[in-house]
Structure 1
């Protein structure tokens, strides 16, 4: 059975099969609903059901609480319609500009930049290119239909192989392979580009770039994209880690700060040891932003990393620093453990 989904306030409409999530149907129809993990863990696709009814597939309580669901809120990546439905959602202009493709790729390099981080580069087939927006991600297609998502750390303007930053999660289906048996010239299949976390080029507002761990990867793509375009937008990057080695491309960020007149870099560490000899900022990375920029009402924020960091930043920036809710753009890096908790 097929139902009709209407999006407000745009009035866009698309069809949805009874066994299809509202987000999947929107993506198929080229309607740009916001989304991130597609697995009910990050809350990027959260919106409201104005008319009709839905039920939700398994999802994280923190992404959609029972109280929110009772109030009509929905995670569209998990929502199955029971008839025609009217939803309220902020659509993302340009999210469907580049088609999602399935492609083979060859691993060209595996560079260990920290004890638990490898930078992987992928070469596409000859005469093939992947068009994407800075900040988007790809999904590797693994055995048994499983998938793993990684942000592209390369700017779209760069004529070079795709680059990914992969953190080792012991016991991880994919990362154990990357850190163990994978070798150069191995073939991997992926689908992409995906996600609505990308820089909004139609704004000149100052940008706060907020990253934890390998959430730096899409932030790197955004900075290099803006540099390639000759953008003069003000950017400040706050990159958080536990110890100095977690900031695995610290030297690159410091070089940006020296060469880009509109860029500042603030590294923040939360779990220092005496041997680290750290003289920089400490504590939670989003709180460092609040200390430096108590008024965010005229800014845009792009946050990427651990779900707890992203959630805390949005809550506190909006409630305490006056950031408009619709100027917070995020990609929470969910793991299989996040999905199963």
Structure 2
């Protein structure tokens, strides 16, 4: 990943201050975006004219940046002034990437040899170092990305085109260097130990209340999601911090029995999911509409009627408990 370095004092730099105020913000944005494009594609500060236009550049903005010395005109676009003085060049990046690749190759070769021989050895170029059996040694691999340090306050970097008088100590961009280090475990004799495979995450115990298990056993739709159904069932019967319970488990048990025994119950693919049935309070809907022109289509009418009667009785009891009848007043006579 490439980085385009921008100084945190760009707002006060003389070159930017010389740009007319009406154009300064747009010109600064164009300068930053063009620099980021060049860093990403490693063109060493050369930006074609069509890219400048695609980034929103106009002749007025380009002339303003050229006039203050931030850009130089080129045959097919613009060239950042003194790019190689303030930004890493493609050649420098290639050299660093090649050195990193060679270091990794040597590290892997040494690791393979030590694993085969089972002998204790160390490295001198940043590779892994084996312990003496009492503790593990770690290694921090180098990173191929451009890293050039941060400033004292952690948010200033040198910018292309910024003079030494305004340059801060280092860049404040995110450091892509990994924060963890690989550990090379060894045994008492220095042999390379095979890391144990990660333990499988324990499955969450599917333990449900007996009342829900009884309800689920009657629910007629096969292949439904039990955990999702339980969440909706628990919300309906227990409520939460924002809503009180809407129904009792006994009421739901009777309702699902009536629903499962309804002779007009549709085929499973047309049934609602259990969570939908619960979340939408469908236990209050009563019998399903008759199919086949209003004629029952078979089923278990006796169980259906019994279930509906139980639902009606429980609902009446619930309403009565919520709105108790006040005791009658008796007149006392002298």
TM range (shorter): under 0.3
Looking at CA atoms only, which structure, 1 or 2, has the larger radius of gyration? Answer: 2
Q: Higher helix proportion, which one?
A: 2
What TM-score do you get using the length of structure 1 for normalisation?
Answer: 0.19
What TM-score do you get using the length of structure 2 for normalisation?
Answer: 0.19
Q: Higher strand proportion, which one?
A: 1
